[in-house]
Amino acid sequence: MSAAAHRDGPPAVWAHAWRSGAPLLVAVGVGLLMHFAVQPAVGAFKARVLVDIGINVILAVSLTLVNGFTGQFSIGHAGFMALGGYAAGALSYYGSYQLFGAAAFNGGVLSWTASQGPFHGPWVGGGDLLFVAACLVGGLVAAGAGYLVGLPSLRLRGDYLAIVTLGFGEIVRVVLQSTQTQLSQAAEVAATPWPLLTLKLGGALGFIGLPFYTTLFWVYLAVALTLTVAIRLKRSSYGRAFLAIREDEVAAEALGVHTTRYKVRAFVLAAFLAGVAGALYAHLVGSINAGELGFQKSFEVVIMVVLGGMGSVSGSTLAAIVLTLLPELLRTVTGSVNTYLPPAYELPDLRMIIYSLALILMMILRPQGFFGLREIWDWRVRRRPRPA
Amino acid sequence: MDTQSIDPLMKLVQTLLDGFAVGGMYALIALGYTMVYGILKFINFAHSDVFTLGAWVSWGLAARALRLEGAADAGGTPVWAVPVVLLGAMLLCGTVGFLIERLAYKPLRAAPRLNVLITAIGVSLLLQNVGQLRVVFGPYPKSMPALLPDVTLLYVAGVRVPVVDVLVIGLPLVLMLGLEWLIFRTRVGLAMRAVSYNTQTAALMGVNVNRVISFTFVLGSALAAAAGFLYALKYVGLKQPADTTWVMLGLKAFVAAVVGGIGNVRGAMLGGFAIGLLEFLGVAYLEPLYRDVYVFAVLILVLLLRPAGILGRAAVEKV
Amino acid sequence: MDRRRWCGSVLGLGFVLLGVGCERAPDDAGPILIGHFASMTGSEATWGVSTDRGVRMAVDEANAEGGVRGRRLKVITYDNQGKQQESATAVTRLITQDKVVAVLGEVASSRSIAGGQVAQRFGVPMISPSSTNPKVTEIGDMISRVCFIDPFQGYACAKFARGEPLRAQKAATLYNRAQIYSTGLNETFREHFAKLGGTITTEQAYSDGDTDFSAQLTNIRGTAPDVIFVPGYYTEVINISVQARRLGITVPLLGGDGWDAEDLKNAGAALDGCFFCNHYSHEDPRPAVQEFVRKYKALEGGRVPDGMAATGYDAARLLIDAMRRAPSLSGKDLAAAIAATKDFPGVTGVITIDAQRNARKPAVILRLQGGKPSFVTSIDPPE
């Protein structure tokens, strides 16, 4: 890239800058649109569901990088989400104490959920910067863990990764659940150095009382960036290398693809994005509990990726949307009249059975998922990307 | 914590006893993982659920079909209860294993391994959630009726060894000896080894590969069912079928198979006991909270240092 | 260009899937809506279902008496699958979509906190039927509860252990370090048992999903306690009791309201003579309790109501009582009315909401025999 810039002089530099900067602008635009146009239009609850959808889209698309592009099999994605959420929570919670004196909301209008009432304050508050930093730190911590886990297991065959990631997720859960009680007095926080603060993450109760920053703006900013990264990656030489590994590892190696290195890179990037999703989740719910981010959560994400299409960014996005909306539609109002109608308790149980049957049938009848490697727009122009 | 008044020898013996008992169950489950891996080269994720099914079918037979709840208190359980429940569970799980292979895995024989792995997870979720249906086992924890009288057989260094523990330790050993004989002394075993060594050549030599694969699944599932039966006898409080406890137990058995050298039958036995003892020693003498952490730490160490497992793949004949 | 169109299609799809149904305005003519979020499915379904039955019973009774303020009541129950994020979403839906005037829920403290933080943000009162962690009501002035809190439960267990008939001098504890409920009870039991003159011989911990407790029980046996405090959930208690008996431990086990489940009968003889602390006893001779038990049995085919059904019933009745007393149904007025509740005659005892919006009321100690709990004594909160 830099070589090209060097050769072609200023215009290429500008083009390069535009290529790098445009997605960010678009992402900010999407975020602003969601925040200022969509949110007031749909109301608080639907905005909330859109936020849930956005977080799941980030999770599904990030896992697509590993399970879809490189054909590896990670089933510990929730572990990275938990790590990212806790790291981000630690920074924003204790950081708020140190900067503002309390773990209260200190952001601008972009972090304010409109349904709580009118907002009087700056466009961007100090808390926003802290929140963005927390999301990045959450992503980096998860990425670091991804590197440590990925390096030994990605040298080996794909199915070892499945076991190691599953075990990793469980270890993360146990370790986070045995952290110390969190501090909730400003004086205590001030008197404790940072290394010790990172040990006080609430333990079994979960890390609670985190300030609420996650809004449609931040989530869809992250969604837009994630999608851009994933789609561009797929079309880049990197993505071709990923797909080559997925199709035939030995052949890819023979073609000069350093398979382990590429697999680790995909894995670390996916872990980073999962960490960011965890950070958004923590500041949406206002608390995070490792006990709920076990391998069931990981399986949910895996199912999104598999159903959507192994390697299809738009497919997994669509699957994430549908699989977030379904439980919401099925959140059975158990007998909305005051009678003792036998509630449909079996329905959610059946839901899991239908999921699993769909998974099996999909693998037998349509092994590549609904979309396979294709994207939605590939159909429109009747064009099929040829993997390297 | 005050632990000085505990007889250290007693504690050690108790720990080894329990570790050995659970290790035997891990070994039985690990055998199923390793035999399937030896032949089809994929991790049968649903295997841990066959183990769960074994435990729950044992409960179903004992508590529902034979109505043995409370029988131990009121006049004793009939002698035939143990063999009937055990064989019933093994038979039923063997059948389920056969069906899983035929319906879910066989259509994917030529597919990429990733697809088979996902199918296995699908089968695993299916078994769990079907088990949770009210018409099957239901979504609540249950407890296994006592099939054996609470009689002490012997004392080892002051540690009480009830009949249950003798069965729990003895049965896996018997089954493993039987498996050794089957694999290394019979024609079926020869066929299994041949298919595992080279499927195509074995087929050319007249081995019915599909039948061998089916037989492997039935065998592995029956062994897992035996482990489930023993588990239900020892740990009477059974968590609901979709509880994570079951998956973790199966995973640890898989770790045992990897540590022993996946694809290697003797390695799986060795790995099972090693993982069981390691887990229980860790819980007794280190931090009890990190039960699972020890096991997975060993897995990562083994993957780093000796990816082929303790009994390296090339060294010993595999199935 | 592709991308833009694609973003557009995703957005469009989002709108379509979400529907265009406009939000309902709070109307003053229809029924008064009460929201309930509970674990109706998942591994803790037994609690959510029990609580929901209790809530609905109370609301039905109020409707039979002519409703509240001349309007009927209606409950909307949302399942949270036993998850935190789902709880927050369900409460958001109840408040912003269904416009409920108040929210009831949850059993597990972590889920009550997730839902409570939302209710507090929107200024809608919430009553937790049976979350016993102190942090729940610390969220803010909108959140209250009708059950006692863990510190009191730990105190009640310690007081009972020291008194008749146990008169324990030495106690050991075995708790789940991955559950805040368990660690909280363990802490307060330790503190009060020592304060009351007893000695804690050892504190042993386990984690979620553990089924083998022999290492911990061996350590406990070595210290020869008079009683073992096991503040876990019933699923763990079954294995703990059987293994303790197998190891030759004969002293009684003592636990908290996490033991309260029908399934405990599966432990068989191993739990005979053990005790646990609970919100109420269905054997309590008070007419209010017997009336409740009779009605519940009639509705539920002879099933005896557990503690969760009783606290759910009390939470809904206390809320209805506050609705009648409040000057208006606005969040502020209703929350103030709930906080002002004094000597409310609940099934789970006479409830007074204190300054921290927790219920002050006695706890009962039950003894297990053949898996059936029977009333032993009740313990009043300390003055």
Domains and CATH numbers, chain B: 8-305 (1.10.3470)
Q: For residue A270, what pLDDT is reported?
A: 95
Mutate which: B159, B283, B294, vs C, most C CBs within 10 A: B283
Partners of residue B251 in chain A, C-beta under 8 Å: 163, 166-167
Listed in sequence order, the residues at least 6 apart from B246 whose beta carbon sits closer than 8 Å to its beta carbon are B48, B49, B51, B52, B55, B128, B239
What burial class does residue B303 get, using C-beta atoms within 10 Å of its C-beta: 0-12 exposed, 13-18 middle, 19+ buried?
Answer: buried
Q: Which helix (H) or strand (E) holds C277?
A: strand C275-278
Partners of residue A152 in chain B, C-beta under 8 Å: 300, 303-304
Residue among A152, A295, A364 minimizing CB distance to B304: A152
Handedness of CA A92, A96, A102, A107 (dihedral sign): negative
C7 pLDDT tier (thresholds 50, 70, 90): very low
Residues 261-290 of B with CB under 8 A from C: 280, 283-284, 288-289
User: Taking 90 as the threshold, does the pLDDT of residue C5 lie above it?
Assistant: no
Distance, in Å, from the CA atom of A132 to the CA atom of A139, rounded to the nearest integer, reads 11
Distance, in Å, from the CA atom of A299 to the CA atom of B251, rounded to the nearest integer, reads 15
Partners of residue B230 in chain C, C-beta under 8 Å: none
C1 pLDDT tier (thresholds 50, 70, 90): very low
Per-residue pLDDT averaged across A281-290, rounded? 90
Per-residue pLDDT of chain B (319 residues; tens, 9 = 90+): 334 456 788 888 888 988 999 999 999 999 999 998 888 888 888 999 999 999 999 999 988 777 776 665 666 677 788 899 999 999 999 999 999 999 999 988 888 777 888 888 889 989 988 888 777 887 777 888 878 877 778 888 778 888 888 899 999 999 999 999 999 999 999 999 898 888 888 889 888 999 999 999 999 999 999 999 999 988 888 888 888 788 889 889 999 998 888 888 888 999 999 999 999 999 888 888 788 888 888 888 887 787 777 776 543 333 4
Residue C139 has phi, psi (to 5 degrees) of -60, -45
Helix (H, G, I), strand (E, B), or coil: what is residue C115? helix
Q: Hey, which residues does C79 pair with through a beta bridge?
A: C38
Partners of residue B104 in chain A, C-beta under 8 Å: 360, 364
With beta carbons less than 8 A apart as the criterion, state whether C317 and C58 touch: yes
With beta carbons less than 8 A apart as the criterion, state whether B221 and B50 touch: yes
Distance, in Å, from the CA atom of B33 to the CA atom of B227, rounded to the nearest integer, reads 13
**pLDDT tens sequence across A129-159:** 999 999 999 999 999 999 988 887 777 766 7
| Four-way CATH pick for A26-294: 1.20.1260, 1.10.3470, 3.30.70, 1.10.150 | 1.10.3470
User: Taking 60 as the threshold, does the pLDDT of residue A383 lie above it?
Assistant: no
Distance, in Å, from the CA atom of A210 to the CA atom of A202, rounded to the nearest integer, reads 11
Residue range(s) of every CATH 3.40.50.2300 domain in chain C: 32-148+285-361, 151-278
User: Taking 80 as the threshold, does the pLDDT of residue A369 lie above it?
Assistant: no
CA angle A246, A251, A252 (to 5 degrees): 55
Beta carbons of B296 and A359 less than 8 Å apart:
no
Distance, in Å, from the CA atom of A183 to the CA atom of B205, rounded to the nearest integer, reads 71
Tokens matching residue B223: 């062994």
Tokens matching residue A233: 């990656």
User: Taking 70 as the threshold, does the pLDDT of residue A5 lie above it?
Assistant: no
The alpha-carbon radius of gyration of chain B (Å, integer) is 20
Residue C95 CA, chain-centre distance (Å), reads 22
Please report how the helices C307-325 and C331-339 are oriented relative to each other, as an axis angle in degrees rounded to 10.
120
H helix runs in chain B, sequence order: 8-40, 47-59, 81-100, 113-132, 163-185, 187-197, 199-204, 209-234, 244-260, 265-285, 291-305
Handedness of CA C176, C244, B172, B127 (dihedral sign): negative
Distance, in Å, from the CA atom of A161 to the CA atom of B117, rounded to the nearest integer, reads 12
Subunits with 3+ C-beta pairs closer than 8 A to C: A, B
Residue among C215, C242, C248 minimizing CB distance to B288: C215
Subunits with 3+ C-beta pairs closer than 8 A to A: B, C
Mutate which: B37, B48, B121, B245, vs A, most A CBs within 10 A: B121
Per-residue pLDDT averaged across A359-370, rounded? 82
User: Taking 80 as the threshold, does the pLDDT of residue A117 lie above it?
Assistant: no
Residue whose C-alpha is closest to residue C136's, from C358, C359, C322, C363: C358
| Architecture of the structural domain at C32-148+285-361 | 3-Layer(aba) Sandwich (3.40)
Distance, in Å, from the CA atom of C325 to the CA atom of C320, rounded to the nearest integer, reads 9
Partners of residue A376 in chain C, C-beta under 8 Å: 6, 9
Indicate the Cα dihedral angle C329, C335, C336, C342, nearest 10°: 110
Q: Which amino acid is at A113?
A: T
H helix runs in A101-257, sequence order: 126-154, 158-177, 186-191, 194-197, 216-235, 237-247, 249-254
**pLDDT tens sequence across A309-323:** 888 899 999 999 988
Residue among B142, B164, B291 minimizing CB distance to C210: B291
Q: For residue C16, what pLDDT is reported?
A: 44
- In the β-sheet with C126-128, what is the strand arrangement from edge to edge? C73-79, C32-38, C102-104, C126-128, C143-145
Q: Which residue has the higher pLDDT, C21 or A319?
A: A319
**pLDDT tens sequence across A181-235:** 888 888 888 888 888 888 888 877 788 888 889 989 999 999 999 999 999 998 8
Per-residue pLDDT averaged across C51-62, rounded? 91
Per-residue pLDDT averaged across A240-244, rounded? 88
Q: For all residues of chain C together, what is the average pLDDT?
A: 85
Partners of residue B143 in chain C, C-beta under 8 Å: 238, 242, 263, 266-268
Percent of chain C with pLDDT over 70: 90
Q: For residue A381, what pLDDT is reported?
A: 54
Per-residue pLDDT averaged across A341-369, rounded? 70
What burial class does residue C251 get, using C-beta atoms within 10 Å of its C-beta: 0-12 exposed, 13-18 middle, 19+ buried?
Answer: buried
Q: Which CATH superfamily is domain C151-278 in?
A: Response regulator (3.40.50.2300)
Chain A residues touching chain B at CB-CB below 8 Å: 67, 71, 73, 75, 152-153, 155-156, 158-160, 162-164, 166-168, 170-171, 174-175, 178, 294-296, 299, 302, 306, 310, 345-346, 349, 352-353, 355-357, 359-360, 363-364, 367
Listed in sequence order, the residues at least 6 apart from A17 whose beta carbon sits closer than 8 Å to its beta carbon are none
Domain boundaries along the sequence of chain A: 26-294
User: Taking 90 as the threshold, does the pLDDT of residue C229 lie above it?
Assistant: yes
Q: Which residue has the higher pLDDT, A332 or C72?
A: C72
Distance, in Å, from the CA atom of B232 to the CA atom of B57, rounded to the nearest integer, reads 10
Percent of chain C with pLDDT over 90: 41
Residue among A48, A116, A345 minimizing CB distance to C89: A48
Highest mean pLDDT (candidates A322-336, C13-27, C153-167): C153-167
Distance, in Å, from the CA atom of A86 to the CA atom of A205, rounded to the nearest integer, reads 13
Distance, in Å, from the CA atom of B313 to the CA atom of B308, rounded to the nearest integer, reads 6
Partners of residue A208 in chain C, C-beta under 8 Å: 110, 113, 117, 135
Helix, strand, coil percent content, chain C, rounded in steps of 5: 45, 20, 35
CA angle C376, C381, C383 (to 5 degrees): 140
Kindly indicate whether the ipTM for this predicted assembly is greater than 0.85, answering yes or no.
Answer: no
**pLDDT tens sequence across A16-41:** 888 778 888 888 888 888 888 888 88
